[in-house]
């Protein structure tokens, strides 16, 4: 009997603690909410039912604290997971997915995995992968800085930025610092001193320059610079300037080839750009090179079309509406109608082709750049005594930056990345506009084109950065401010009404960018589908539809996809430029020899 009783007691002792432990085992569930039809506004909340508090929540969203049991801004239709850890160290992984309830959310979810794959390629960090440097950001005590969600803060060197900077350095050396020695001649060309009335083409050197500039001078100068100096400090400005100077020769190379290998049809319409020099110039080297050239050309054309619909169109109409509706609140909720208005204005211009586009850009670009630069100069002169200290801060920040900014590597990356995204040197898009210039000397148009990164990055971006530095927003900008808001706040410290000027500038920048990118996309479309009227009107119709969509909806992964296509254009383009670099150098040497001998005549 006693043995039986002992057995019962023993079973009880083993059963009840185990049962109690099972009841206390960490468990829980997630509750998802989709509050609207807008993209990326999903909410997820963890409900813990067991375990020992306090709990920590490790979300994939870097900005969500580990103490928070909920997160927001979640992309709908995309799977995610949160890890919960209790006081005992027990771990629970909960999967979640916010359901889609609108077409825009479904489209965003469809593009998200594509964007992730493209991002892995374009933003792959080769130096970190090879162990050349540590991408982790450390504080003054050599401790890793952490995001609110507990992950380490890092600053990588994206492959696409490395590629563009390498191309800039290579051509700067290969062309013997043409970015410095040819500036005076470039200005003479823009002024028309060497314009021959008998030259082939559709637009003047000046019009080609303003058309290409209209596609680059814009939100990158207003918002991009503010992002750069707020993330990388004043020192990021130095690396932006250097990247702009290096980009000048890269722009020279692509625009020289654009004119050299352009096609002119019976009606005088010009078809040029990387699609043509990649396929034609490489084909001259043999069958194998021709196959490579054709593949690179098709790859470039596809990405150019995608970029023209997104970053060159939808993003522009979206940001223009966002800025205008912020100041004119009665427009809020009427994005589609704003898009229809923008599409009508864009349509009136692009129907007339490059000549019509150039007639608009050669007025809008000088006007908007002048207005923006004049206000920046006024502020700079008002702070004339601080110009020296500001440049000292730029130099000091470039070479001995705060560890909180990621060290020299971190600041360099921010500066180079913003400049590369702003002036598009190496992307190849500007070559399409410059190929329409009235000239029979390809090198001359390349020389004109090297002014673009100088104006876009060295002049306009530097002025924006100085204004932001004067006002202290490079160090004290509120965390919830975006790039445009930082720039607006900096200028508004001196002119309270400047936000209205900035709104007008953003709309004009957006409009001019859209009409220029419509031309780029059209020429890429024509390369793939032919020069027929049907192909022409099909592309233009699609472009105008995307203008309305951009203003009416959120963009999310669709825009990320488009931006990556624009950056991706740099890979086939720069590969071709490197292969053809000897040909470019030979043509450049011949041009300057003929210029010196007087064979190339000056007409004014």
- Tens of pLDDT, residue by residue over 478-502, are 666 666 677 777 887 887 787 787 7
Place of tokens 């049991």: 69
pLDDT tens-place string over residues 186-239:
888 888 777 677 666 667 777 777 767 666 666 666 766 777 777 677 777 888
pLDDT at residue 300, as a whole number: 92
**Angle at 220 (CA atoms; ends 215, 222), nearest 5 degrees:** 115
Query: Could you tell me which of 220, 227, 219 has the C-alpha nearest to residue 483?
Result: 227
The pLDDT tens digits for 29-57 are 999 999 888 888 899 999 998 888 899 99
The token pair at 234 is: 């004043």
pTM of this prediction? Answer: 0.81
Is 18's pLDDT higher than 60? Answer: no
C-alpha of 493 from chain center: 28
Name the pLDDT band for 4 (thresholds 50, 70, 90): low
How many C-beta neighbours within 10 Å does residue 169 have? 13
Among 84, 98, 96, which residue's Cα sits nearest to residue 26? 84
Is the pLDDT score of 78 beyond 50? yes
As a whole number, the mean pLDDT across the chain is 80
Whether 516 has a pLDDT exceeding 70, the answer reads yes
> Which residue stretches of 130-286 are H helix?
159-174, 178-181, 183-190, 205-216, 219, 225-232, 235-260, 274-283
Structure tokens at 1: 């009997």
Q: What stretch of H or E contains 488?
A: helix 483-492
Q: What is the mean pLDDT of residues 9-15?
A: 50
CB atoms under 10 Å from CB of 578, counted, come to: 15
How large is the average pLDDT for residues 401-421? Answer: 60
DSSP at 145? P
Q: Is the pLDDT of residue 243 over 90?
A: no
pLDDT at 16: 47
Q: Which of 296-300, 450-454, 472-476 has the highest mean pLDDT?
A: 296-300
Written as six digits, the tokens of 382 are: 């008002």
Residue with tokens 């057995």: 7
In this predicted structure, the answer to whether residue 120 has a pLDDT above a threshold of 70 is yes
Neighbours of 566 (CB within 10 A): 23
From first CA to last CA, the distance across the chain in angstroms is 123
- Cβ-in-10-Å burial (0-12, 13-18, 19+) of 250 comes to buried
Q: Which H or E run contains 33?
A: strand 28-33
> What would the pLDDT profile of 453-472 be if each residue is shown by its tens digit?
888 778 888 888 888 888 77
* Pairing verdict, β 70-74 and 56-58: unpaired
Name the token pair of 352.
């007339």
Instruction: Quote the percentage of the chain above a pLDDT of 90.
Output: 13
Residue 9 has pLDDT above 60, yes or no: no
User: Would you tell me how many other CB atoms lie within 10 Å of the CB of residue 54?
Assistant: 9
Q: Taking a C-beta distance cutoff of 8 angstroms, is the pair 260, 442 a contact?
A: yes
Q: What average pLDDT score do residues 100-119 get?
A: 80
β-bridge mates for residue 270, sequence order: 264
> Comparing 9-18, 161-170, 368-377, which segment has the lowest mean pLDDT?
9-18
Position 460 scores a pLDDT of 81
Q: With contact defined as beta carbons under 8 Å apart, do 191 and 205 qualify?
A: no
pLDDT confidence of residue 580 = 92
CA pair distance 72, 83, nearest whole angstrom = 16
CA distances from 489 to 110, 269, 477, 478, 522 (A): 37, 45, 9, 11, 38
Query: Tell me, what's the pLDDT at 21?
Result: 46
CB neighbourhood size of 266 (10 A): 5
Q: What is the pLDDT of residue 152?
A: 86
The pair of three-digit structure tokens given for residue 84, joined into one six-digit string:
């919960």
Section 324-340 average pLDDT: 75
Tokens of 385: 């005594």
Q: Which are the contacts of 589, defined by CB distance < 8 A and separation ≥ 6?
A: none
Give the Cα-Cα-Cα angle 117, 123, 127 (nearest 5 degrees). Answer: 125
DSSP β-ladder status, 263-264 and 91-96:
unpaired
Instruction: Give the C-alpha separation, 67 to 198, whole Å.
Output: 73
């Amino acid at each position: 009997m006693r043995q039986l009783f002992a057995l019962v007691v023993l079973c009880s002792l083993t059963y009840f603690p185990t049962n109690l432990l099972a009841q206390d085992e960490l468990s829980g569930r997630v509750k998802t909410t989709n509050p609207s039809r807008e993209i990326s506004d999903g909410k997820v909340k963890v409900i813990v039912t067991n375990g020992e508090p306090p709990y920590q929540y490790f979300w994939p969203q870097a900005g969500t604290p580990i103490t928070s049991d909920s997160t927001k801004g979640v992309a709908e239709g995309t799977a995610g997971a949160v890890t919960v850890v209790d006081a005992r160290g027990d771990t629970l992984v909960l999967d979640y997915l916010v359901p889609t309830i609108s077409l825009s959310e479904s489209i965003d979810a469809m593009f998200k995995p594509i964007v992730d794959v493209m991002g892995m390629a374009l933003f792959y960090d080769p130096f970190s992968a090879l162990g050349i440097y540590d991408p982790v950001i450390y504080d003054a005590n050599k401790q890793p800085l952490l995001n609110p969600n507990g992950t380490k803060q890092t600053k990588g060197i994206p492959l696409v930025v490395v590629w563009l900077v390498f191309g800039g350095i290579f051509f700067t050396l290969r062309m013997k610092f043409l970015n410095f020695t040819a500036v005076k001649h470039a200005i003479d060309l823009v002024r028309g001193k060497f314009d021959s009335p008998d030259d082939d083409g559709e637009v003047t050197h000046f019009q080609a320059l303003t058309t290409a500039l209209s596609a680059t001078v814009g939100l990158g100068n207003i918002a991009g610079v503010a992002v750069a100096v707020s993330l990388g400090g004043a020192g990021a400005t130095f690396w932006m300037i250097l990247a702009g100077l290096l980009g000048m020769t890269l722009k020279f190379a692509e625009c020289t080839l654009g004119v050299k290998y352009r096609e002119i049809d019976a009606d005088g319409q010009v078809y040029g750009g990387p699609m043509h020099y990649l396929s034609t110039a490489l084909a001259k080297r043999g069958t194998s090179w021709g196959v490579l050239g054709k593949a690179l050309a098709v790859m470039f054309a596809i990405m150019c079309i995608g970029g023209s619909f997104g970053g060159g169109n939808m993003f522009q109409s979206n940001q223009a509406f966002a800025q205008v509706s912020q100041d004119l609140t009665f427009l809020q909720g009427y994005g589609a109608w704003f898009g229809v208005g923008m599409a009508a204005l864009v349509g009136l211009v692009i129907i007339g082709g490059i000549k019509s586009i150039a007639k608009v850009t050669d007025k809008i670009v000088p006007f908007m750049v002048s207005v923006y630069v004049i206000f920046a100069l006024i502020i700079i002169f008002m702070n004339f005594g601080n110009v020296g200290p500001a440049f000292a801060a730029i130099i000091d920040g470039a070479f001995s930056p705060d560890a909180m900014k990621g060290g020299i590597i971190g600041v360099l990356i921010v500066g180079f990345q913003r400049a590369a995204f702003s002036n598009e040197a190496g992307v190849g898009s500007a070559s399409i506009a410059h190929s329409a210039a009235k000239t029979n000397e390809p090198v001359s148009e390349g020389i004109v084109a090297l002014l673009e990164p100088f104006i876009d990055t060295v002049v306009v971006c530097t002025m924006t950065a100085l204004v932001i530095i004067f006002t202290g927003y490079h160090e004290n900008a509120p965390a919830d401010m975006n790039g445009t808001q930082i720039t607006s706040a900096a200028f508004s410290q001196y002119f309270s009404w400047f936000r209205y000027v900035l709104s007008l500038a953003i709309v004009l920048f957006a409009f001019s960018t859209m009409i220029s990118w419509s031309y780029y996309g059209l020429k890429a479309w024509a390369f793939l589908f032919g020069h027929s009227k049907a192909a022409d009107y099909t592309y233009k119709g699609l472009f105008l539809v995307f203008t309305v969509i951009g203003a009416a909806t959120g963009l999310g992964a669709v825009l990320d996809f488009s931006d990556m296509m624009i950056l991706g254009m740099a890979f086939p383009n720069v590969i071709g430029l490197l292969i053809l670099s000897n040909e470019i150098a030979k043509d450049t040497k011949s041009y300057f020899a003929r210029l010196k001998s007087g064979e190339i005549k000056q007409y004014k």
